[in-house]
A = this chain, B = another copy of it.
Amino acid sequence: MGRAQPAVVKMPIETITSSRNPRVKNLVKLRERRQRDKQGLFLIEGYRELSRALEKGIRIDEVYYSPDWFLGENEDALLRRAEAAGAHLFHLAGSAFAKCAYRERPDGLLGVAPQWRLDLADLVLPETPLVLVAEAIEKPGNLGTLLRAADAAGVDAVLLCDPVTDLFNPNVVRASTGVLFSVPVVVAETAAVIAFLRSRGIRTAATTPDTDTRYTDADLRGPLAIVMGSEQYGLSREWLDRADGKVRIPMAGRADSLNVAMATVITLFEAVRQRGGTAKPPGRGQTAK
């Protein structure tokens, strides 16, 4: 706290000291899905997340910064990068930033960016894609972690069916540690996703406890989509009836001892192993914009 304002950043266009400032109020509003949808915007809070968004060429409209809250040394460089990429910078007094920060431990950086929408038709997939399908994930934290798992496994696309959680929820952005900006994510209805995968010749493997086929005994090579159900209810009847195959993860402990993100990462990494175990280079199918 109390560090001087970075000297290298251009003279701030505006310094906001009041937490009743309409811009500050709007940052608070953007925590609500309705407001995000209405304004077509979302929040990117934190050094790491903003830095990854910039790396991936995500457009950022505004960055609110408050040196009182800075934790590191490189905030200044980040702000200059954001400004060079077209973002408007707003300097906030510490108290005003406290009002609009969403995190428990704010680091003095909060960006506003336009949402994007990727459709199934936009997806450019390689010849032998590995796709992750997730149905009706409930918790933003789980959805974010699931995106991290997909990123680590080098998945070509994540298809979210009938999502309960908004992809642009601040907790998804946070739990994904910015992976949201690199993995192509499509939100679509189950029927459309099934039709799309069929049309592209991509087999579907539904994960469920109700099968004898262990995930390690199934053939997870070739064009493949691994399909994960929701935390509470697992996969819907529609997916279970229409998937090309079913696999289960044998567990020693209690049935609920793996959460959905862990079950996802286990299955994806077994697929990676069967496919040759080589991590794909980062430049995959399609960027997330």
Chain A contact residues, CB within 8 Å of chain B: 145, 148-149, 151-155, 177, 179, 182-183, 214, 216-217, 249-254, 256-259, 261-262, 265-266, 269-270, 272-273, 277-282, 284
Contact = CB atoms under 8 A, between A and B. Distances in A.
Contact of A257 (B179, B216, B251, B280): B179
A195 B262 CA distance: 32
Q: What are the 4 A-B residue pairs with the smallest beta carbon separation, nearest first?
A: A154-B252, A151-B253, A252-B279, A250-B279
A278 B250 contact: yes
A262 B259 contact: no
Nearest to A178: B254
Q: Which among A253, A256, A270, A273 has the highest number of chain B CB atoms within 10 Å? A: A253
Contacts of A151: 252-254, 257
Given A252-B282, A278-B250, A282-B253, A216 B273 contact: yes
Contact of A153 (B148, B179, B214, B252): B252
A166 to B, nearest CB: 20
B262 A149 contact: yes
Nearest to A150: B253
A5 to B, nearest CB: 29
Contacts of A282: 252-253
A214 B277 contact: yes
Given A149-B258, A262-B148, A154 B253 contact: yes
Q: Which among A148, A152, A254 has the highest number of chain B CB atoms within 10 Å? A: A152
A151 to B, nearest CB: 3
21 contacts: A148-B259, A149-B262, A151-B252, A151-B253, A152-B252, A152-B253, A152-B258, A152-B262, A154-B251, A154-B252, A177-B256, A183-B253, A217-B277, A250-B272, A250-B277, A250-B278, A251-B279, A252-B279, A258-B265, A265-B266, A266-B266
